[in-house]
Amino acid sequence: MIALSWPQVSARRLERAGLGAEPAGTGPAEAVAAMCGAHAQVTAAAEVSVGLRLAGATRAHVRAALRPGGELVRTYGPRGTVHVLPARDLAWWVSALSSLPPGRNPHAPSVRLTPDQTERVVAAITEAVAADELTVDELNDRVVDLAGPWAGDLVVPAFGGHWPRWRQVMHLAAHRGAFVFGAGRGRKVTYTAPPAAAPAEDGLGELVRGYLTAYGPATPEQFAQWAGGPVRWAARAFEGAGLEEVLFEGRPAWVVAGDTAVPDEPPRGVRLLPYFDAYVVAGRPRELLYPGAAAARALNRGQAGNFPVLLVDGVVAGVWHQRRSGDRLHVTVEPLHDLGPARERELEERVERLGEVLEARPRLTIGTVTVGAHA
């Protein structure tokens, strides 16, 4: 059995996820595919995640790729959170995510939808967006008309108020392929029909192989945590995906069969990753990616992504924050250890690149970040 060390795996993951010496791909779809989806709960962070992985790209390139008919779509992805995905791959993502067993419903029994009501809501959403791009209020009116008045009951607690009953299955409807996010209308979010595509076979196998290509070796438990599903579901997915067992730091883990190559050199270099970058969200074991003081400073109750992070030689070695004022971008980086002159110069280059992506003039300060974790 092939044995792989953390430095080997760290270098491999950086290269695969577009954070090595070369960009992840020639365009936005290739970069996002290499990341196995870009977390987009914070839209500006997603633009940085993708833009940094493309030579010479700016946030404008990412936004253009997200326009109707573009290379990318925005929808609910792993863990029921908003993600940017390649439009060309949406069919197998839908196939994979729709296989997730229902999770624990956090709402009171009086709030929950019955299985029949759930199916009626998903069908209503699908029909509502088939011909129109709708704001959430417009979608609400259509769903209530199509499914029944009960769908509009204001019973779902949300942000100090209440949402209509049907809203609790939005992520499920997206996982079924009912809608994707639209271009937006001013500051209002919109929903629209997904791009037409034939149903995909073995979408779950594609997802497992894509995840392991980017972030393997990994275990079914780690895949389940990333995808937001139960371990039994993940274990069954691993069984049929064409995988190979290896030893990763002395413990069993899996890669795609035959995909055991690693770079010749250990990871080197400085990187800045924004909120919820896919690399840190998917990266496990946490204790290897966030060694020592990094776990206390850059994780939020064990959750990755709540802080933008500084990577040094493949591990989290600090946090950073940006503040924009007009066309100026003030970037504060808090390293956990002394960087030394060579790495400080590389950090300055990374900050310059960040400014290019955000179409701003950056200024670097090395000091304490006083902003807390993102919710």
Using a pLDDT cut of 90, give the percent of the chain over it. 91
* Beta-carbon contacts of residue 333 (< 8 Å; ≥ 6 apart): 272, 310, 318, 319, 320, 347, 351, 364, 365, 366, 367, 369
**9-30 residues labelled b (16+ CB within 10 A) or e (exposed):** bbbbbbbbbbbbeebbbebbbb
Q: Is the peptide bond before 230 cis (omega within 30 degrees of 0)?
A: no
One-character DSSP codes across 142-179: HHHHHH-GGGG-EEEEETTEEEEGGGGGHHHHHHTTS-
Query: What order do you get walking across the sheet with 243-248 strand by strand?
Result: 3-4, 243-248, 251-256
Give the integer Cα–Cα distance in Å for 67 and 184. Answer: 10
Asked whether the CA dihedral 278, 283, 289, 293 is positive or negative, the reply is positive
Give the integer Cα–Cα distance in Å for 50 and 226. Answer: 19
pLDDT at 214: 96
pLDDT at 26: 81
pLDDT at 20: 84
**DSSP code for 15:** H
Let me know if 156 is exposed, middle or buried by CB neighbors in 10 A (0-12, 13-18, 19+): middle
Whether the CB-CB separation of 326 and 355 falls below 8 Å is answered with: no
* Tokens describing residue 56: 């010479």
Q: Is the peptide bond before 194 cis (omega within 30 degrees of 0)?
A: no
CA 325 from centroid of its chain's CA atoms: 27
Give the integer Cα–Cα distance in Å for 361 and 358. Answer: 9
Q: For the chain, list residues with pLDDT below 50.
A: none
3-state secondary structure of 234: helix
312-315: long-range contacts, CB 8 A cutoff, minimum separation 24: 312/269, 312/270, 312/337, 312/339, 312/343, 313/266, 313/267, 313/268, 313/269, 314/7, 314/10, 314/11, 314/13, 314/14, 314/266, 314/267, 314/268, 315/10, 315/288, 315/289, 315/290, 315/291
Q: To 5 degrees, how large is the angle CA 193–CA 195–CA 200? A: 115
Q: Which helix (H) or strand (E) holds 362?
A: strand 361-366
Q: Where are the domains of the chain?
A: 107-176, 270-366
* CA-wise closest residue to 47 among 60, 34, 56, 36: 60
Whether the CB-CB separation of 143 and 119 falls below 8 Å is answered with: no
**DSSP code for 196:** P
pLDDT at 323: 96
Give the integer Cα–Cα distance in Å for 330 and 236. Answer: 47
Give the integer Cα–Cα distance in Å for 136 and 52. Answer: 32
Residue type, 86: P
**Beta partners for residue 366, in sequence order:** 333
Asked whether the CA dihedral 13, 15, 18, 24 is positive or negative, the reply is negative
pLDDT at 23: 65
* Tokens describing residue 139: 């979608």
Stated pTM of the model: 0.94
pLDDT, one tens digit per residue, over 102-151 is: 888 889 999 999 999 999 999 999 999 998 999 999 999 999 999 999 99
